[in-house]
Structure 1
Amino acid sequence: MRSLLWLALLCVPCFAAISLTEVATLPESPNYGGGDNVGSLLISETYNAGKGPGIWIVADGGYRLYVNGELLKEDVQAGRVSFVPYTFLPGENAVSVVGVNRSGAPGVLVQIDELEKSYYSGAGWVSKPAVGNNAWKAKGRDLSQWGGATILDHSNQKMPSGGDLSGFAEDTKAKWIWTGSESDSLAVLLYTFYVKAEGFGAATTGGSGGEVVLATDSASVRKALQSNGPKTILIPEGTYDFRIFKNAVTDAKNRKWTWCKGQCGANDKNSGNTFYRISFTENSCSGLSEDVTPVSESENLQSWNNWITTSADKSLIGMGRGANLRGAAINPRSYENGHNNIYRNLAFYDVNPHLVEAGDGLSVDGSDENFVQKFWADHISYKWISDGFDIGNVKGATVSYLDYDGTSEFNCWGYDPYMALVQDAELTYANVYWHGTYGRVPKVGGNSRVHIFNNYTSYNYWTGAAVSGDNSGSYSQILYENSYLDQMNFHIVDVGSYGYMNFTGNQVKNSKGCYYVNGVCSSNPPQNSVFTPSYSYAKRTVSAIPSELPVYAGVGGKWGKMPEYNQAFEISPKAASVSVEAQIANNAVTLNATVTSSSGAAIQRVDFYVGTELVGSAHSAPYSFNVSDLVPGVYSAIAVATDKNGLSGVSSYVVFQVSGDSEKTVAKLIKNGAGSSNQNLILGDSLVPFSYVWENAETVTATGFPMGVNVFIDSLDSRISISGTPTEFGEFVYTITTVGADSNVSVVRTIRVAESETAITHQQTVLPKAFSYRVFDLQGRLLYRGAFQPRIYNQRVLVVEFDKEGNALRKYLMPCSKSMPK
């Protein structure tokens, strides 16, 4: 079966006896996904865990994972961490998990990584222990009858059943979640988040609700963008050549224009370059201010932009870490009904960078009579573009997380001359990173309302944001706020006739320019009265913007980068396809893997896992490994194939059973009662009673409880009950362990008893760990010195804790306890 995820396991080979661990059984009912097949067009398979967008998941049991009704992954092995590389589409993303618990404590842990942010299991999730249909999987589901998921009181570095958790996302904020009762053996857990524009373009839906198609070259992209009806067009992660080469002079002559040329100035950064600029007159360069002459057709001056117009209701989405489109010049226009378009996770680059005014990478054009309605460009990288990113005659538009690199080695100045011309537009620039720009960041004219927030401009040669209007009835406004501007070389902003700007809440650093308002330089920023946005939006901490936006803006978000100029054209290679079979012979199993390289890359090795343990590897075909001395019981296994690109493909799991005189029993501990298994108290407070029920065991043992706590073990009812009022303070780590099963289980929890309210606050602060202890009686006589925290019998004592260097960390009085360490 084709690999659909990357398994995140941090194990080392272990050839000792394989532990028998929890293997769950997923429900067969269609209400819980029984009969669903794993797979989605949106699974990327071009990167490993944590190297791109996707979903991390692990359960203390089994699970099925869905997004928008598609089954992405299922597993039955408790503790096995998986990562699904996934492309999230604009609009609603309905995430669903069916969790199954067989033994021990339950729980599901999830982290969702999107291009610029992550979402975590915890607050905002809802749950049910049982459902009557499978409508919960789909977008638009009704959650009015669902209760909030319960956040379990377990560390996300541990399994709820007490074992270590390895291989999950680093520094995760995810919490273990379940239903309201840990005794529920099944939980349906739901979370919904939206990928949508902030600002004026928030209503843009693109191709949502229509067909989802793959496009792997410029011709198929053009065909899909110009087709009728809503459509989401996926471009697989990679780099694509959209260029169409032509004689620029011939093309201009057909339009009655003229290409003109001159030599760059001696003081220009690239003084050895030839300067080319278009004159919008026939056979003449007289309208240009530069000292230039016409270019002859015989000189074969080349241009290569591939101009593509679009129809309505389209989303063009780069998959995974994004798609790089060299030479693409995409232009939604009202003439072709190019309304309601979304462009996301794309790099536009190399659009005639040696020519001035020879095409945009992405531009939007309405007319005075027919404005383009609704446009959103998000996570776009932009470099080596002749004429910038122009937007005119548009209503309801947002440009967000744009990475605009204006530096260029192909013209005179070292910067592309034009960045962003905005005319008669209603437009939001949110979280945009401008760097190495010449000017026009942006230049706003006509009758426009432009909102700029959370922007970062890092070196601008000429004028930054500029605004002017036509007349008193057609004026332009910019609300420029909460942004960081660094190294503004000339005018920080330029406010002209019938232009208004409120420049507020920004930081300007290392700049020698002025605020140029109606022809006068000023040290004070313009703060005109302008429009107030009718929408809500999230402001960043301004001082953090220079460290944040270069990471999150552009193609691929925090995993992407600007393409190199001559980057090789290829669709990113995919991980190998892997399947595994298990052949049982007495108490041994032979695991056989079938591996197919998806991109022709040689397979370096195949690792075999039983449960979460790496049991062995094979480095050449046939890929197999034998595991012996297995105790009777049920196991699950997988195979992971790693190719020379470092990509790892993972098989679906296989379940096998080893028989014996009697199948090994696996004990369970199931929590009951209102009280949490971890509790924080003040001395004198009573515990909120709770209990554990055991299965497949004879009885349990319990250790570590504070004095005053009642522990009652009822072997007839298979229940241990905990209640009472602690009579000593401190942190008490207790353990409950089953007895009499072939495979016993334990729960390890903590009861913290503070001497006062102040001590409770102190306990919630993470304190340095003690390296050694000394204990004194109240007359100052030394009673104990050692590396273990003691309990002193029948007297009140002073405890002093020390660090490794022998420095005292803290002192406190401890009431009497049961025993003294030996």
Structure 2
Amino acid sequence: MKGFGQIALASVVSIFGISAVHAADAAAKIQASEVVTLPSDAAYGGGDKVGSQLIAATYNAGNGPGIWIVADGGYRLYHNGSLLAEDNQAGRVRFIPMTFLPGENAISVVSVNGKGAPGVLVQIDDLDKSYYSGSGWKSKPVVSNNSWKNKGRDLSQWGGATTLSYANNKLPSGGALENFAPNTQAKWIWTSDESDPTAVLLFTFNVKAEGFGVTTTGGDAGKVVIASDSASIRKYLQSNDAVTILVPEGTYDFRQMRNAVTEAKSKGRTWCKTTCTEKNRVTGKTNTFYRITFKANSCSDLTEAGVQIVQESENLQAWSNWITTKPNKSLVGMGRGANLRGASIAVRSNEGSGNHIYRNLAIYDVNPHLIEGGDGLETVGTASKHVNKFWADHISYKWISDGMDMEFVDNATISYLDFDGANEYNCWGTDPYMALVEDAHLTYANNYWHNTYGRVPKVTGENNGSQVHLYNQYVDYNRFFVAGANGHSANAKAYVRYENSYIDNGQGYLAEWGDNGYVYFSGVTFGNGTKQQHRYNGTVKSGVPQAETFNPSYSFEKRNVADLPKEIPNLSGVGGRYGKMPEYNQGFGQSNKAASVTLTAPAAGAKITASADVTLKADAKDNDGSVKSVAFYVGNTLVGTSTAAPYQVTAKNLAAGTHSAVAVVTDNSGLTWMSEYVTFTVEGAAESSSSAAPASSSAVAESSSSEVSSSSVAESSSSAITAESSSGTIGIASPMQRATEAEAGFYRIFDIQGRPLYSGNRKPAKMPAAHVIVIEYSKTGKTLRHYIQ
């Protein structure tokens, strides 16, 4: 398949948003770039420790769900009250691999501006969509407590964040920004006043069902637990408490091998067999047909030719693991998802079960060689007691004997389901039973059905009737009928509304329906090989069924139908756009996790003389592999890489000023992980900057950290001002002789003491200090003017 306190990164080189400089090329002095001090006040997160159950260190940036963040300053990043990451280095890009929970996801950022233009850039990647920093965020410059970081916060007194006009491919201060999320739509944001030194920025998104199942909350009211094996998953599903069950990314074996005939006999049932009458579509082989009857020692109910009773001595195997459940549960695969082999989960009203959420899971290999040998996931209510509230989202489903049946259930949604009916173990090469729906109020949204026999879905009215709404479906190869509808009486009608969908290779009928059944197709595109015909009470009719049906009471998002064949397969199933259906014999165990790393030297707050070398050391450990290398960065510059313990490098020629260092470990599989930062100070005479303009904005980003030494700044005449630097006297023009905006192509701004405040390709509307030194350059790099403002 594709340790808290450290952050997974895109790569070891060019990892922080500027191109890495290797130690061999580091003869040039490493400048003291912008480093801030994060607030110690508890109202702004002071004292909080990095750590969350939801961090999934099993993939690098862009390969799974998570949060990208960078600030032109520093920040603390929170999710539902937990501190995910913090950094005090401007321009350092971090990616935090995350599992987002059903329900409210409260994202919070405390950011500090150090020098020049401020800004925070954030992209949040969930399984099927991304969220971006922009006008939808809230902001405040000052807070009195830290309730802002928690779920359920009151935002009524918060103003909207301001979207800054800076391009999102560079820092607001003008420096280069690299290795942020490709093609991001995120915008730099701040409070309404760029001079505010601190900004608290908030964004909330809800992971919830569309359609009938929108009120399903699962285990949101209870605690969050991690279940790392099949026994723990069963235990929590059967507990009496509301609980959100996180399953670490990986593959889990639920199978319980047994003699299927022995088991059937104990229940008064019979397994029957015959030779398949056609070759399997997947393998081209002729398999044996196995089907159960619900009579003892009899196959008389079956119509297949040559059917025989299967004997115990034949040792026909079954391995489904049937798991009943209690109410108020969320079962969530972490990261790119969890694969549950052989699990057969039943949400039954007999146990009082309901209000269940299943998300980011693959459920597969439930007796695929048998007919009516068990579901992978099902609801089972009764006419007098329906299951209430159910949502299955981003489920991959394959090699399942009896489909995904929804019986006697209300307020239910199935979304982003990837149901692959291809089956090399039965007669036809496609699962015969896909989705039986009885007496249900059910929404199917954004689902991918492929290699199916039929029943996508088959809807019946048993006692109370059914209303089933499907939209944004993509069907690719269906052998018999797509939608079925049949009500058993005028008081138990079956309604199917099938709209805004795309059907390829529909080999049979669009609908199979009869008395008290109603099928309505609207906005459906019929692609290659799809027959526009339906069958009503056994009579085949041409055209598209458009019987009178119900109108859903909820709003929903219609996708562009022409895009469904590309979008839905990519977004549906376990892991969404990052995952895939497991292999049949995929190995068991949790996914590889990144190594951990801690920077041990220099010590936090260390003061080092300018002429001294600085030794950077780290401890690195990999519990499920080996450490390949540890790279050391000062600011955004790679100082060196160590490939063997003890992991350390020597940094030479560090400029005076405050520095922020991190270590990045790479394991034998290529996973990377970043340490928390360590701040230290190099003391001594500061290096002055050249008065010549750098050749590019990235060069400015590096050189703008140097300081102009101005122990005395005085007017030398009524028309000129001079500033004395360590490299000589810089002539500074009178403010009356400034270049125009059209003439100037780049600006650098220093305070009166010569410390850098800003560099960029336009002059800030508001200066970062009351009195500043401004240097203007032409687009070709020529110095135009110096002046004090």
TM-score by length of 2: 0.87
Query: Does 1:551 pair with 2:597?
Result: no
Query: Does 1:261 pair with 2:264?
Result: no
**Equivalent AA in structure 2 for residue 577 of structure 1:** S
The structural deviation recorded for 1:527 is: 1.6
**Equivalent AA in structure 2 for residue 626 of structure 1:** T
**Equivalent AA in structure 2 for residue 121 of structure 1:** S
- Answer with 137-146 or 427-436: which moved more: 137-146
Query: Does 1:306 pair with 2:321?
Result: yes
1:676 aligns with none
Query: Any conservation in 1 of the 2:394–2:416 contact (CA below 8 Å)?
Result: yes
Percent identity over paired residues: 55
User: Could you say what the CA RMSD is over the residues aligned between the two structures, in angstroms?
Assistant: 3.0
Change (3 A) 1:258 1:27: same
The structural deviation recorded for 1:272 is: 2.4
Change (3 A) 1:162 1:528: same
**Equivalent AA in structure 2 for residue 281 of structure 1:** K
Query: Any conservation in 1 of the 2:222–2:244 contact (CA below 8 Å)?
Result: yes
1:73 aligns with 85
3-state SS of 2:215 partner = coil
3-state SS of 1:7 partner = coil
Query: Any conservation in 2 of the 1:633–1:665 contact (CA below 8 Å)?
Result: no
1:30 aligns with 42
The structural deviation recorded for 1:732 is: 6.6
Any gaps of 5 or more consecutive residues in structure 1?
A: 668-693, 702-710, 752-787, 792-816
Correspondence for 2:296 among 241, 261, 282: 282
1:200 aligns with 212
3-state SS of 1:355 partner = coil
3-state SS of 1:325 partner = strand
1:653 aligns with 677
| Aligned pairs (5 A) from 1:644-793 | 644-660=668-684, 662=685, 733-738=745-750, 744-750=756-762
2:520 aligns with 502
| Aligned pairs (5 A) from 1:482-631 | 482-513=500-531, 514-583=533-602, 586=609, 587-599=612-624, 601-631=625-655
2: CA distance, partners of 1:588 / 1:635: 14
Query: Does 1:460 pair with 2:475?
Result: no
The structural deviation recorded for 1:733 is: 3.6
Change (3 A) 1:478 1:741: same
- Answer with 467-476 or 6-15: which moved more: 6-15
1:331 aligns with 346
Correspondence for 2:660 among 621, 632, 636: 636
CA offsets per residue over residues 729-758 of structure 1, 9 Å max, x none?
A: x7974524438766535433459xxxxxxx
1:7 aligns with 9
Change (3 A) 1:605 1:491: same
CA offsets per residue over residues 494-520 of structure 1, 9 Å max, x none?
A: 222111122001101123421223433
Query: Any conservation in 1 of the 2:608–2:681 contact (CA below 8 Å)?
Result: no
Query: Any conservation in 2 of the 1:436–1:459 contact (CA below 8 Å)?
Result: yes
CA offsets per residue over residues 388-414 of structure 1, 9 Å max, x none?
A: 000010000000000000001001111
Change (3 A) 1:391 1:700: farther
Query: Any conservation in 1 of the 2:71–2:90 contact (CA below 8 Å)?
Result: yes
Correspondence for 2:66 among 54, 65, 69: 54
Query: Any conservation in 2 of the 1:129–1:188 contact (CA below 8 Å)?
Result: yes
2: CA distance, partners of 1:298 / 1:344: 40
2:226 aligns with 214
2: CA distance, partners of 1:419 / 1:268: 18
**Equivalent AA in structure 2 for residue 384 of structure 1:** W
Query: Any conservation in 1 of the 2:355–2:388 contact (CA below 8 Å)?
Result: yes
2:769 aligns with none
TM-score by length of 1: 0.83
The structural deviation recorded for 1:103 is: 1.0
The structural deviation recorded for 1:573 is: 1.4
2:103 aligns with 91
1:355 aligns with 370
CA offsets per residue over residues 17-62 of structure 1, 9 Å max, x none?
A: 2121011100000000001111001101111111100100001111
2:163 aligns with 151
Change (3 A) 1:638 1:789: closer
Change (3 A) 1:3 1:34: closer
The structural deviation recorded for 1:532 is: 1.2
2: CA distance, partners of 1:439 / 1:155: 51
3-state SS of 2:263 partner = helix
3-state SS of 2:509 partner = coil
With CA pairs under 8 Å and 6+ residues apart, which has the higher RCO, 1 or 2?
2
2: CA distance, partners of 1:722 / 1:287: 99
1: CA distance, partners of 2:419 / 2:662: 44
3-state SS of 2:558 partner = coil
2: CA distance, partners of 1:263 / 1:191: 60
Query: Does 1:183 pair with 2:195?
Result: yes
The structural deviation recorded for 1:522 is: 3.0
3-state SS of 1:170 partner = coil
Figure out how many residues of one structure are paired with residues of the other and give that number: 718
2: CA distance, partners of 1:443 / 1:737: 70
**Equivalent AA in structure 2 for residue 566 of structure 1:** N
The structural deviation recorded for 1:623 is: 0.3
**Equivalent AA in structure 2 for residue 588 of structure 1:** D
The structural deviation recorded for 1:7 is: 3.2
2: CA distance, partners of 1:180 / 1:146: 12
